Structure 1
Amino acid sequence: MIFHLIAAFFFSFQSITFAQVLKCPYGWEEFIGTASCYRFVRYPKANSVNAAGLCQTDLLSVESLPEHLFIQNLLNTNDPSTQNWITSGRRNGPFWQWIKSTGPINLQYDQGWLPQTTQDQQIRSNLVYGYQRSQWGWLPYDIAPMENLPFICEVPIRDTYGVTTNYRGIEYGLPSNIEQRFIPRAPKFHEQPQDQEFGRIDQITLGVGSTFGVSKSSLAVVVTLTCRADAYPVADYFWFRMIGGSISEAVLVNPHESRYFQHGGNLMINNPTSDDSGTYFCKASNFFGTAISNRVYLREIIVDQFEKRERPRVIADGHRDAIIDCLYKNTNTRDLSYAWFKGGISQKVQQTAERFISQNGNLYFSRVTDGDSGKYICAVQVKNTRLRYLPSQTSEGTELDVRSTFGQERSPRIYPSFPQVFPTSRLPKLGENASLECIAEGYPVPVYRWYREDESNSFNPLQSKAILLNFNRELIIPNLQRDDMGSYRCEASNIRSVVHHSVTLQIQIDPVFVVPLDDQVLDIGTVLSWYCEAYPNDANQIRYSWFINGTEIFWERLTLAQRQRLTITNNLLMINNVQPYDNGIYQCAATNTQNNVQRFSTAELRVIILAPTFGKNAMVSTLRSTVGGLVTIVCNPEGAPRPQIQWFRNNIPLNTGGTVQIFPNGNLAITNIQLMDAGNYTCMGTNPYGQAQQSTYVYVMPEGTTIISTPGGRDVILDQTIVIPCDARSMNQMDLTFYWRFNNEILTIDNKRFRQDNPDRPGDLRIIKAQYGNSGRYTCVAQTTVDEQSSSYQLNVYGPPGPLAGVRCTQPFQRQVTLTWVVGDEHGAPILHYTIESLSNHRSWWLFHGNFTIPLPLNKFVTMTLSGLSAYTDYRFRVFATNMYGSGEQSEVSPPCVTQPDIPSIPPAGLGGGGGKVGDLRIVWDPLPMDFWNGPNLTYKIYVQKHGENR
């Protein structure tokens, strides 16, 4: 089938004149694709009215998929709390627009909406970035007048000259020729100490003669705790051990004791004992301050011998279940791994569909047979591979007696306490692996399936990274993330019935700073304000405290003078009238009150005086422009207090107003520049300690670059090649270069899909085999070292509908379900009908249900009832749309949906008999296919009457 794609061109011009190379200010993220800077503001939050003012620029607008993916990636990395973020998106009647300072623009790229949200698009007013179903995207949202949210700012790099930033790095005021590593700075940890484990070594543990043929004296165990800080001068390190619950009560570890040795930030403990277990931290200190590290726990792992006692015999009926308990006294499942042997340690028990070794140490039989009789031995070994010097231990044998019985079918039964999450001694941590186990007995032996349950008790497939092991009885979820939390359902089934139990997976999330501290270099007498914020940001779960140079601040221990200048309000610290003696390292500590895990955000305060200097930020000596262009001159001298800026032109004070503007950050902009504006521009910075000045000479040329292309357009058929023309000339005989933007993103000319291969017209863009994704705005930019001109074309591509999103099955009855989905892009033609197909647990091929014509609601959220289904059937659905150009892509498969049970649809076929003996009647029939069972536990009833009887 050939689809016709129709392309239409629309054309516009734009002119820009260069000034000088700019870059994103501190705290802004650059996206090369759009040549723009983005700032994610979590503090202070703002309402929809004030956010743009705090930005000093426009709020975010998203005009392409790469830009959307860029925002998604930054939010995934920096916002574990998944808040809603304000953008410039607003609803205008039935349409959504981005609101810019230059005026509103309609959404060019509209695929950022999250599933199941478009029903709100006609009633909500704001477009925010939100988080649903494990992804970031657009949500229609009503921001209340007093509701404050984080927000996202955006500014083109070429416009950053007007952005004011008060940030000063710790290198502020230092000579520019100092190497980075030699910049004087207080310590900050770049390697935090980690929890450590050690095993106890003694002859009791090793056993008589020792398991490995070695003695205690020949084994040397060394535990190393490590911390490293970046500092200059190089830091000195001190290790402390916690005695009570407060860091202030910690005791300094003496590195000169016989079993202790310290080298730099490494603390080594030789042959640690139980007395060495506990909580440790280190301090790094130099002339500029002292920092404190995270607390770590040194823990002893004990692998003792099993108790020497007779074990109770386990008696089980054949084809029934059995459990053999390991009976080991260390029940910390994250310390140990288990193995089982039968008869002796030479015959290891292998896991099969009938046998399962749980991480709790027990051996489970879903069904035993005569061959399972015998003596079973449990063996334990430490999990930590670095502690494999600890020998494994084996138990006495446990006898399993199996009584011979006939196997009778029975429904599955999931064992009590299963499914279960391991480890059980604590919650699994973010980034670790979690194991979920499920074990059931029954005959025939059950099979297992796992689902995720959402808040509405709907079943969803497992995440793609999930791993199923041991006949699906063990579910491994690697690299745990917050999205993995929730309810998991284990389903065990055989031909008799289906049973299920659920378990909730929770994750230990250590505090993560989403608003960390930044270094501050302040003027004498000003106000220090530091705000920190950690996730989880629940006031009932996180407790904040503050440290200065490694010492915790306690209000009751402050002097009256200190109390008059210092204010601490939870996670906000302020000091009035700062002085050089306030210099040092400040740390905000966030402690999770549920597990007592503490994390620090660290920054240095430096209070200075400095005469103005251009040493690191020299002004450019010359700038060139053309008449009518925009010239910006950056003036950013260092100084403390911050220098007052004054501008001169040809040594005469510069009057602002009209086309001349001086920004609060000191930069100068001249719009619509003319020949008479040429001259020498001098910036002077002054503070109480001196002044400094530098100059830039501006040359103005009468003419610049001119676009001379003539726009054109034509219909384009799928897979044909199109050429978008672009040509220009430079009046000043300057070299011209051409590049293209697609939806405001710089287009990569890969010489595959896109080419600029005409030597006579180097600006022309050739698009090879045009596809739907090529729709959008193309901008040709003709550039010289002085200015640039651009022209834009709008290319619209039409064709079959895009894929539908969010197909869901709800309200299942015996023979019908309700289906919902969100309509995608129509690609220029109305949808004629929707095609519905299904997959069930009774067949492996897709069944066609029909083509359905459904009016398209304004919110593109379609709901319909599908009838004619089978009862008690596990269905999955997919849908695709068709318009005049053809059929579109199939949707993603819906989550499973089970219809309610009913009586069988049809009677058994093939009823007959014959061949019986005297007194026996032989009756045969074809088993009813499972498609027509319509319920579990199908049984047959046989009715018999003698030939000739009528009853």
Structure 2
Amino acid sequence: VQQQYEIRVYDDFVIRMNTGVLRCHVPNYVREYVIVTSWVRSDGFIISNSKYVAFSTGELHVRRAGPEDSHHSFQCQTKDTLTGAVTSSITAGKLVITEPHSSIPAKVIHWSRQVDGPQGSAVFIPCEAQGHPQPMYRWYRQYGGRLMPQLPMNEPRLVLVGGTLVLRRATVQDSGTYVCVVSNGAGAEEKNEIQLLVTEPLEVEMRPRVQEVRSGETVTLNCSVSGFPVRSVTWTKDSRPVSAGPALRRLVLLNRYALRIQAAQSQDSGLYQCFAGNERDSAQGHAYVRVKSEPPVLVSHFEESVVRREEPVSLRCAATGTPLPQITWSVYDVQVHDSGQVRVGDYVSRDGSVISFVNFTKVRLEDGGTYRCEAANEHGQDSYSARLNVAGPPTVQPMANRTVVAGRKLLLHCPYSGYPISKVIWRKGNLPSSKRVMPYQNGTLALETVSRNDDEGRYSCIVRNDQDAEATNQLNLRVLVPPSITPFSFPEKPQLGSRASVTCSVPEGDAPIRLSWLRDGVPISSSSSPGVTLGHVDDFISTLVFKSLREEHTAVYTCLASNEAALVNYSAPLVVYAPPRWRLEPADATVTTGERVVLDCQADGTPEPRVRWKKSAGVQSTEFRTVISSSRMQALVNGSLVIQEIETSDAGGYMCEASNGVGLPLYTVVQVSVHAPAKVRQRFLSHMTGKGQTVNLRCDASGDEPIHFFWSKDSRPIKTFSNPRYTIKDSARPGSPSSDFTILLAEKNDTGAIKCEVSNAYGHDEQITHLSIQDRPDEPPRPEVLNVVSRSVTVLWKSPSDGNS
């Protein structure tokens, strides 16, 4: 949104043959993004020669100012960097040339604490002064606490233009502290320090742009930064700071330009960025790290086989993957470990495969069964199973009793051995197992959605061969029933101070059942939660009772029910609706015109209150109108009202209203009092009259009364009692105070700069009038003959007074 603003240039008084400084005044609220681009003289002259020096900060120097420079006015032009709009100043400033009649100490009128400029450009360091005689300048640069003279200069890149030190083709090495010393013999020296910062655009590069590594390897990322100054260097991974997250222990900053990833894992893959920045510039470089990761694949495995007892047997599996997988062995879900007759081990082959084996020194009948090898890493798993058949009669190993939670799937394995085997049969009690269960040929029994009534009991596994030899073994299956909670909820939109309760009921589940409550995930009790009563009707019902709801009761409440089978929960939110209340109530404000004022207004409540501002229609009016945001007045998201460069018309009552639909709206009215500092109507004037005439100079002021007037001439107070030709008369008319300075029978020595200073409790201002009393020029003095030759005479005479004509 384009903001409307006005820029101005005011007149400036300058002592003849000194440097005049005109300033382009840009409002504070747009100064951040408005730049001064050029100056225009009233006659169309292009301001470019060495007489003029324009600064990016908005100043124009007019060197060796003389009467001819007072005939022109100057306007500045600005550009809005956001919209590109070009604006000219609505006023044009002039130079008012004053004649010195006595010595005036040198005084610096334009300098900057810090000057910035890009490398390779010409940098202007201002230290402009006025005085009579003309000021002299000495420049120094600070090196390690010592001041080294910069003038006279042997460095051709350094040029002194008036009081401005110009540094051509500046480099970052020129950055530092410069000291300007000004004097003219009429007073004490004046010294100023200026910080010069020569900047170079920041550039960041990371090489290589893409790094591909294997899991477990170390990666080093280097960040090359060029440019000046480099204030900060930060690192991110996938737009998050590298210092955050579980990978912190693997990510190590060797220095601010190098990041190391130790033992890289797949989650370390991603986009890494290095950011370099300073107060005005930033840049970033990036690199992509790809950590190779592959899920395991079994590339070879053992096959089903038949062996004789007492023979040596070896089962082998080989797998690949990144990172290298771990291979484990099991038989009927029981892990295989080293024992006296069994050896389990692995190694890595030359091609990078993991070889794992199970070796039997002398295989036994009971070693027969279904063996499974499983390869796993962080990216997946692969498995294979096959039977090792040991020739011999049927046998079934003892089976452990099983406990399962109702509703889940269960696989029962029959750990049989012997070869050949013709049948594997499962029975429950004295009857064959029901049609609902699914027996597999490998001796596994699958029970889908286990039920206590149907599936709990004793199971037998019977194994037979072709000679009708058989073996059997049993296990007991116990089925546990987990708790179930009946859904509950709190009343809709409960109000502050009302009552509420919820009941957690458990209709199913094995006893004993333990009931408890959480508030936002934290266990609660009556002692730890004021205003909340916990009640247990019986072992299966618990209640929460709120006798008087408060805002702090707003939370998510969870009922936990647990027994031997499982822990279950159910949650419901409670939101207590509360009317607005002040968190930060607005207060009256007293300011002066041009200042920035912030009226804070923040309210709490549920739901979050909406804050609106209104302004009274008049000083005594009780009617309020909604404040509409503008370039000077904005209502912020946090509820505050900001008024930029406040004016007297902004004074009055302001109402802040907070409402959220619960209860009555909350509002308060504050008064903003705006005081006006003393100001003169016209800051620069010139007046010319003849000798012997009566001179009347008026100084009109505005601002809060009382306003005081003080007159001076050429910086010396005007004393009417010591000069009967001078009179000063103040007028205290309400709303338009003024003061008149009258000179009777004006004389030539009345010429000078007449200053009227106005002041009140809130500020001060001044009006300067260049008074010129004209008289007829003096007669030239008698000429003096200096030299006579045959054909010429050299004559000298002094220039008489021109009578200010």
* Fold agreement, TM-score > 0.5: no
Question: Relative contact order, CA 8 A, sep 6+: which one is greater?
Answer: 1
Q: TM-score, normalised by structure 2?
A: 0.31
Which protein is richer in strand relative to its size? 2
Asked which structure has the greater CA Rg, the reply is: 2
Q: TM-score, normalised by structure 1?
A: 0.27
